[in-house]
Amino acid sequence: MQIANHNKQPFMSEPVPPPATPIIAVEHVFKSVTDSTGTLDILRDIDFRLAPRETVAIVGASGSGKSTLLSIIAGLDTPTRGTVRLDGQDLFALSEDDRAALRAQKVGFVFQSFQLMGNLTALENVMLPLELANRRDARKAAAEMLAHVGLGQRLSHYPKVLSGGEQQRVALARAFVVQPAVLLADEPTGSLDFATGETIMKLMFELNRELGTTLVLVTHDRAIAEQCERRITIEAGRVV
């Protein structure tokens, strides 16, 4: 005969932690433009989530819609339907000024064409986002970041006397100096030769790991895309 053990504690499972809030949530985004020839669908029902610190490459042929998608993720362009949440905040529920303020706080950009201010030195270009954020240590922080990307001796040089690789290093320093939650990069090696492009990508991934940034990279280069943890392929405006 079995004797019941009335003192036995009921089995209790370990509490399951809630899932982390995605740093980026793209929710059923459509983008169309209309002109005299009719309506062109650029993006069609794009839907995905990115976790903090994740690296993702958005790949596709020219004209597939990947750069438009990046602009919408940044809140620089607006979708026809759908929305994007950045760290839980609905970008398109905000005014343009509030979107700009959120970008300044959480997003860094690197472009194919560098987008440096030609009338500013390398140091002044990197100081710019810090000054806009009213950082009192702008000069010191900018100088340290330029040294970190190997340009500690080029602080006073203007973009026109820097090589393409050096200009992109300045652009990387400017993007990372604010320690953004998200870095958006649009064909960052598109204007560089192969060897320089490899060096820039290595530096970008190193900075990304050091600062714990979420990297969203638009590229047509499969070798670069394969360095990311995840790839999202766009064809004719859809994820495939």
Q: Give tens-digit pLDDT for 46-77.
A: 999 999 999 999 998 888 899 999 999 999 99
**CATH code that applies to domain 24-239:** 3.40.50.300
Return the SS3 of 86: strand
Query: What percent of the chain has pLDDT above 90?
Result: 76
Token look-up 């064909």 returns 187
Does pLDDT of 10 surpass 80?
Answer: no
Report which residue type is found at 194. Answer: F
CA distance 191 to 154: 21
**Quick one: average pLDDT of 197-218?**
93
Could you report the per-residue pLDDT of 110-162, keeping only the tens digit for each?
988 889 999 999 999 999 999 988 899 999 999 999 999 999 999 999 999 99
What proportions of the chain, in percent to the nearest 5, are helix, strand and coil? 35, 25, 40
Distance set, CA 4 to CA 1, 8, 12 (Å): 10, 9, 19
Q: What 3-state class would DSSP assign to 39? A: strand
Q: With CA atoms as reference, report the closest residue to 132 among 110, 160, 103.
A: 103
d(CA 131, CA 135): 6
**In the predicted model, what is the mean pLDDT of residues 198-204?**
92
Domain residue ranges of the chain, discontinuous segments joined by +: 24-239
| Dihedral over Cα of 188, 226, 208, 157: its sign | negative
